[in-house]
C-alpha cells in the first residue's frame, strides 16, 4: 500500500495508517458490519474525484464542470438498479442512517407512525430508537423476536392492525434468519402502509441471490455499501419509480449538500464487482462460514441466539457463562479476534454492557477463510471465554489466531 506522499506531508498520520493496516492483517475480523474492499475500490475513493463539487443530480447540477461526474454517478445508479431489481436508485447518501432518514422525510411528517424492529431485538438506531432522529420525531412502535430468535409475523400483523403505521420497516442490524419480505408486504397492504426494507447487512447476500430479494415487495430499499456488499463506506436508496422524485429531493436539498463523488465512484466499482460470478461464490461462502462458526461454537458448549444462522451473522449468548459482552469482546481482542458486544433478547444487562457478542463472517471470507478455519476460530473463542483470566492461555490463543491470519494474508 503506497503511502509515500502521506509520509512526506504528514508522517504522524501515515504511521497510524500503517499501524491500522498491520492491525487488520494480524487480527481475525468478526464484526458483522465490516469488510475489506478491493484495492480498485480504494483507488476510486482516493481519486481526484474528491476535488469536485456536484450538488444536485446527474445532468441537473448547481455547478459546472460535472460532465464526467455525471457519467460516473449515472453508472452507479444503473448498476444498483440492475443488481437489486429496483426502478430508481439514489447513490448519494453518506451512510445507511441518512438513507433511512431520506425515506422518512420523503414519506412522512413528524409525528407519523412507524412500525419497526426493536433495537434490543436486532433492529437499528435509525429504525426508531428514542435517541435517534427516527425516534425523536416519529411515533415508533416496535416488534421483536420470539424465543427461537425469529420474527413472529402474526404478532407483527396484529401490531400493524392495532397501530395503523404509515411506514413499516423490515430488515435489521442483528437478525440471523431469512426475512420473509412477502409476508411483510401482505401486512403492509392490509393496513395501507408503505414498506421499507433496510438490507444494509444482507445486501451482498441479496445481490448474489443467497438471500431472497425485497425488490418485488417493497416500496423502498436502503442499504449501506460497506458490509457484505464489500464496497466503500456509504449508503444507497432504491425505490419504485413513483417515489423517485421525492427521494431525490429528500437527499438534496433536504438532508445533504454536495455528494462525495469519489465515494460514489467506489460504489460504482463495488457494484460491478458484486455482479460477477465470483462474488456469488463469495456470498455463498459467507453463509457456509457463518454456519460452520455457529455449529463450532455450539459444539464447544456455547449458546447461539436462535440456535443457528441462515445468513452471515449470529449472536453469542453469554448468560450461562456469567460473563458480559463488554468484557468478553475485550478478551477476544487480546487473542486477536475483533467483535462487538451486543444485546440478547430480554437482556438483563444494559446496552453498554450486554450479555452477548455479535459475530459475522463477511470480512474473514474475503480473506479466504473456509469452514475448517471457522471451526478453529470457534475453538479459540470458546477457549477465550472459558479461560478469560488465564493470561498464558490467552497468549497461546493469540498465537493460534495469528497463524490463521498468516494462512490467509490480507493486502499483501
* Mean predicted confidence (pLDDT) in 222-242: 98
Residue-by-residue DSSP string for 162-212: HH--SEEEE--SS--S---HHHHHHHHHHHT-EEEEE-TTTHHHHHTTSS-
What is the pLDDT, as a whole number, of residue 412?
Answer: 85
Average pLDDT, integer, range 231-252: 98
- Per cent of the chain over pLDDT 90 is 96
The pLDDT of residue 148 is 85
pLDDT tens-digit series, residues 120-165: 889 999 999 999 999 999 999 999 999 889 999 999 999 999 999 9
| Per-residue pLDDT at 1 | 78
pTM of the predicted model as reported, rounded to 2 decimal places: 0.96
pLDDT for 356: 96
Cβ 280 vs Cβ 209: under 8 Å? yes
Q: What pLDDT sits at residue 250?
A: 98
pLDDT of 362 above 90: yes
Residue 40: which of 242, 188, 231 has the closest Cα? 231
pLDDT single digits (tens) 56-100: 999 999 999 999 999 999 999 999 999 999 999 999 999 999 999
Q: For residues 216-235, give the mean pLDDT.
A: 98
pLDDT > 90? residue 389:
no
pLDDT band at 2 (very low <50, low <70, confident <90, very high): confident
Contact indicator for 191, 165 with CB cutoff of 8 Å: yes
Helix and strand tally (H, E) in the chain?
16, 15
pLDDT of residue 208: 98
Mean pLDDT, rounded, of the chain = 97
Q: At residue 345, does pLDDT exceed 90?
A: no
- What residues are labeled active site? 53, 55, 198, 224, 227, 233
* pLDDT at 217 (0 to 100): 98
Banded pLDDT at 214 (limits 50, 70, 90):
very high
Task: Report the distance separating Cα 201 and Cα 179, nearest Å.
Answer: 12
The pLDDT, as a whole number, for residue 353 is 97
**pLDDT surpassing 90 at residue 192:** yes
Per-residue pLDDT, 346: 86
pLDDT for residue 348: 94
pLDDT for res 120: 86
The answer to whether the beta carbons of residues 100 and 134 sit under 8 Å apart is yes
- Span 100-112, average pLDDT: 97
Asked whether 110 and 137 are in contact (CB, 8 A), the reply is yes
Flag whether pLDDT at 174 surpasses 90: yes
For residue 49 the three cell numbers come to: 474525484
- The Cα–Cα gap between 66 and 53 comes to 8
Amino acid at each position: 500500500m503506497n503511502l509515500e506522499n502521506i509520509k512526506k506531508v504528514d508522517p504522524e498520520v501515515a504511521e497510524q495508517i500503517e499501524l491500522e493496516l498491520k492491525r487488520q492483517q494480524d487480527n481475525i475480523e468478526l464484526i458483522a458490519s465490516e469488510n475489506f474492499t478491493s484495492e480498485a475500490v480504494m483507488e476510486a475513493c482516493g481519486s481526484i474525484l474528491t476535488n469536485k463539487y456536484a450538488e444536485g443530480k446527474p445532468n441537473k447540477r448547481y455547478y459546472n464542470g460535472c460532465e464526467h461526474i455525471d457519467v460516473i454517478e449515472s453508472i452507479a445508479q444503473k448498476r444498483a438498479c440492475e443488481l437489486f431489481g429496483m426502478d430508481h436508485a439514489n447513490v448519494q447518501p453518506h451512510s445507511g442512517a441518512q438513507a433511512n432518514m431520506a425515506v422518512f422525510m420523503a414519506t412522512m411528517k413528524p409525528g407519523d407512525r412507524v412500525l419497526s424492529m426493536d433495537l434490543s431485538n436486532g433492529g437499528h438506531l435509525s429504525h426508531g430508537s428514542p435517541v435517534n432522529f427516527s425516534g425523536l420525531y416519529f411515533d415508533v412502535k416496535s416488534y421483536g423476536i420470539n424465543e427461537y430468535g425469529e420474527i413472529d409475523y402474526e404478532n407483527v400483523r396484529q401490531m400493524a392492525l392495532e397501530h395503523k403505521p404509515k411506514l413499516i420497516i423490515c430488515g435489521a442490524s442483528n437478525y440471523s434468519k431469512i426475512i420473509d419480505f412477502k409476508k411483510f408486504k401482505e401486512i403492509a397492504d392490509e393496513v395501507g402502509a408503505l414498506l421499507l426494507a433496510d438490507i444494509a447487512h444482507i445486501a451482498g447476500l441479496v445481490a448474489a441471490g443467497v438471500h431472497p430479494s425485497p425488490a418485488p415487495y417493497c416500496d423502498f430499499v436502503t442499504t449501506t455499501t460497506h458490509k457484505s456488499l464489500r464496497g466503500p463506506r456509504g449508503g444507497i436508496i432504491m425505490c419504485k419509480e413513483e417515489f423517485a422524485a421525492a427521494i431525490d429531493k429528500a437527499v438534496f436539498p433536504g438532508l445533504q449538500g454536495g455528494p462525495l463523488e469519489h465515494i460514489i465512484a467506489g460504489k460504482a466499482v463495488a457494484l460491478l464487482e458484486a455482479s460477477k460470478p465470483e462474488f456469488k461464490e463469495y456470498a455463498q461462502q459467507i453463509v457456509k462460514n457463518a454456519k460452520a462458526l455457529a455449529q463450532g461454537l455450539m459444539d464447544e458448549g456455547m449458546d447461539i441466539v436462535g440456535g443457528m444462522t441462515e445468513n452471515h451473522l449470529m449472536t453469542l449468548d453469554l448468560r450461562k457463562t456469567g460473563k458480559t459482552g463488554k468484557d468478553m469482546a475485550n478478551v477476544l481482542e487480546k487473542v486477536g479476534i475483533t467483535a462487538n458486544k451486543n444485546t440478547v433478547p430480554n437482556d438483563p444487562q444494559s446496552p453498554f454492557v450486554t450479555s452477548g457478542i455479535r459475530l459475522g463472517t463477511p470480512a474473514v471470507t474475503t480473506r479466504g477463510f473456509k469452514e475448517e478455519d471457522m471451526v478453529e476460530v470457534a475453538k479459540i473463542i470458546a477457549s477465550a471465554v472459558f479461560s478469560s483470566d488465564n493470561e498464558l492461555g490467552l497468549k497461546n490463543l493469540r498465537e493460534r489466531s495469528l497463524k490463521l491470519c498468516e494462512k490467509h494474508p490480507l493486502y499483501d
